[in-house]
Amino acid sequence: MNNIEQILNRDDNLRWAVRQREQKQPTLPTDLNERLMQRLDRQEQKAKYRHAWLYPAIAVAASILLLIILHNPQTENPVSGSQGTSCAAEMRTPQYEDEWTTMEQYIQRQQEIRERGERLTAYVNAHRSTNIE
The answer to whether 34 and 42 are in contact (CB under 8 A) is no
Residue 78 falls inside a structural domain: no
Q: Give the DSSP letter string of 103-125.
A: HHHHHHHHHHHHHHHHHHHHHHH
Which class for 18: exposed (0-12), middle (13-18), buried (19 or more C-beta within 10 A)? exposed
The residue segments making up the domain with residue 120 are 94-133
pLDDT at 82: 47
Residue 67 falls inside a structural domain: no
Alpha helix ranges (H) inside 25-53: 32-48
CA 70, CA 64: separation in Å to the nearest integer? 10
pLDDT at 132: 52
Residue 15 falls inside a structural domain: no
Q: What is the pLDDT along the chain (133 residues), one digit of tens a residue?
A: 567 677 766 777 778 877 887 777 777 778 888 888 888 888 877 766 677 788 889 999 999 999 888 888 666 555 544 445 555 555 556 666 667 678 888 888 899 999 999 999 988 888 876 655 4
Residue 113 falls inside a structural domain: yes
Domain count of the fold of the chain: 1
pLDDT at 59: 92
CA 56, CA 46: separation in Å to the nearest integer? 18
Residue 30 falls inside a structural domain: no
pLDDT at 114: 92
Residue 42 falls inside a structural domain: no
Residues 6 or more apart whose Cβ sits within 8 Å of residue 96: 90
Residue 19 falls inside a structural domain: no
Residue 111 falls inside a structural domain: yes
**What global pTM score does this model have?**
0.26
User: Which among 114, 35, 103, 37 has a CA at the least distance from the CA of 74?
Assistant: 103
